[in-house]
Chains A and B, each alone.
Chain A
Amino acid sequence: MAELIWVYAEILDGKVTTTTLEMLAKAAQAGTAEAVLLGPAPDEAAATLARHGASKIYRSADAVYAECLTLPAAETVAGLIEKYRPAVMLFASSYAGRDVVSNLSARLDCGAITDVADFVLKDGRVEATIPALGGSYQNTATIENQGTKLLVVRPKSFEPKVDEQPLTVEEVPPATGEAIRRVRRKQTVVVKREGPQLEGAKTIVSGGRGLRGEENFAMLKELADLLEGAVGATRAAVDAGWVPYAMQIGQTGKTVKPDLYIACGISGAVQHLSGMKTSKYIVSINKDPDAPLFQYSDFGVVGDVFKVVPQLIEELRKRKGGA
């Protein structure tokens, strides 16, 4: 019989997250996929999970999971794991995913493998692929424990897949008691983001320290608009306060995988590369011929962003308007 693989499902902006669907696709391919969905979620969330390969969904809509974050979720998942003993459980490398898995790995005294880009499961044994040290290495690792193997999965590691399953939902009792209410979420603030978002963008135009200032990101926005894409940035640009953290791409920011990534004034540090180097096409503009990013670029121009980018914008306008 196929082995049981669970996915810890997450909701963001009223939708099941893409990483959840990516993990489900992998789980369904490697075994029998089931999902755990805790906390308030839109009505169609369970159906979305079933449509993407979940043959069963463990569900509690109780508000405690939203109000108290990690502790109730970890308690409920630990109980479910002890009852059903899945071979593997997958968590996204997200805020909630990391919080829940860290608690579980200590509670169940089983540890976890983090930063997983892929895995195979055979006779209950997991062999995971890990891009270590910012992706300069690619290792394989396993975890030796009796029970469920906990894996923390990198976003964009798999393609979501429609794999319609009959909707089977098992209601689970919510976690209760004072101990799980020790962390309280008092308020949620959504910072308004303008224009297309990085998640899901087919084209990303990204800027680094070479942009020299906040005002010059307008030029990247113009280029991105012409290509119907979104604007991203390096940590150097974010830390300088030029753009918000939501735009950061890399190890401590977002992992993206667009069809086209245009890097402007970005050196290509491993921590940045690890968030974008699986993009289909990479184009870079840098005045330093030795910038490491050139080694990952399909097309590179050694030159000044303040000359090359405006010319590119003008050229795209011409070709759009003209031809």
Chain B
Amino acid sequence: RGNALNIVVCGKVIPASSVTIELDPSSKRMVRKGVAHELDPAAASAVEEGLRLTEKHGGAVTLITMGISDATIGIRNALAMGAASAVHILDDAVAGSDTLGTAKLLAAAIAKQQFDLVICATESSDSYSGIVPGQIAYLLGLPPVTFAKEVSVEGTTVTIKRQSETGYEIVEASLPALVTVTSGINEPRYPQLKGIMAAKKKEIKLYTAAELGVPLDQVGERGAREKVLTIGRPPKRQAGRIVVDQGDGGKQIADFLAEIKVI
């Protein structure tokens, strides 16, 4: 079919939501090794949106992720949901990349694919910088169509409902384009047994930075322009008064409000 959509989804695999993410005092980076990982829920929504579009128009979804070897579990999840293939940028040299280093690697991996549309989540759940997608769009010369709470494709035009402070906007661009999707855009499907079995046979293509042709001084810790200087904990709020409701909890709050002169 002429109108089939080839979609690349960029998604992260991150420490599972059950894990309290810690920072490593020496590297000042998140502790990622040795903790349970899962497909970022935000990335799952991006995959879901890609799948819905390809189910409607034909075509296929490719997931691209950059991450450590533990990321495989999340990649398999996306494949089990229905993504046709995956690309994993796996290279010790890219650990500690800042947003722009990450975007350069992802852009180089995307450029190796045949695609009509790139879908990212507006922000990742662990680092939530929210600027990697816009950087990728610039690097690839794609129009950035951002903060979508609905996406549709008609011919060679992609149209979204763009979240705004006061409602939404209808925004469009011609393909190829990059779309970012907000967290509430859909309810990602759970992989079914058939999908899980099929995922085992799907290809996960591995790349290093060198294979992607991204110079090593642009990525990883060495290439990072953003540098964490110190890590610390915020000042604790002074402990307040906690009471157990004995039938007068509402009255006690009213008393407190009087005390702070709100009433």
Contact = CB atoms under 8 A, between A and B. Distances in A.
Given A101-B131, A133-B21, A182-B173, A114 B99 contact: yes
A296 B183 contact: no
A310 B144 CA distance: 48
Contacts of B263: 227, 316, 319-320
Given A70-B146, A103-B134, A308-B249, A186 B170 contact: yes
Contact of B166 (A107, A190, A307): A190
Nearest to A130: B228
A115 interface: yes
A102 B172 contact: no
A108 to B, nearest CB: 10
Interface string A298-320: 11111110011111111110011
A141 B234 CA distance: 15
Given A260-B262, A315-B250, A137 B233 contact: yes
Given A95-B147, A301-B243, A103 B138 contact: yes
Contact of B229 (A13, A99, A127, A282): A127
Contacts of A252: 123, 128, 182-183
Contacts of B98: 111
Interface residues on B, range: 35 or more
Interface stretch (B66-74, B87-95, B200-208, B251-259): B251-259
Contacts of A312: 249-251, 253-254
B196 interface: no
Interface stretch (A42-50, A56-64, A142-150, A163-171): A142-150
A133 to B, nearest CB: 6
Contact of B172 (A74, A139, A184, A307): A184
B243 A99 contact: no
A95 B21 CA distance: 27
Contacts of B254: 312, 315-316, 319
B194 interface: no
Nearest to A259: B262
B154 to A, nearest CB: 13
A111 B165 contact: no
B243 A140 contact: no
B189 interface: no
B110 interface: no
Contacts of A189: 167-170
Contacts of A212: none
Given A143-B226, A186-B171, A300 B144 contact: no
A255 B134 CA distance: 23
A239 B184 contact: yes
A133 B232 CA distance: 12
Contact of A289 (B169, B171, B173, B244): B244
Interface in B96-111: 98-100, 103
A190 B252 contact: no
A289 B245 CA distance: 11
A282 B257 CA distance: 11
B128 A115 contact: yes
Nearest to B129: A114
A12 interface: yes
A307 B229 contact: no
A184 B136 CA distance: 19
A307 B170 contact: no
A102 B132 contact: yes
Given A191-B167, A301-B252, A98 B131 contact: yes
Interface of B: 20-21, 23, 28, 30, 98-100, 103, 123, 126, 128-139, 143-147, 159, 162-174, 182-184, 224-235, 237-245, 247-254, 256-258, 260, 262-263
The list of the 6 closest CB pairs from A to B, nearest first, reads A102-B134, A311-B250, A303-B245, A191-B167, A312-B250, A102-B131
29 contacts: A12-B165, A70-B146, A74-B138, A95-B163, A99-B134, A102-B131, A105-B100, A107-B138, A111-B98, A111-B99, A114-B131, A133-B126, A139-B229, A139-B231, A142-B226, A183-B172, A193-B166, A260-B257, A282-B237, A283-B256, A296-B237, A298-B256, A301-B250, A303-B244, A307-B247, A309-B250, A311-B249, A312-B250, A315-B251
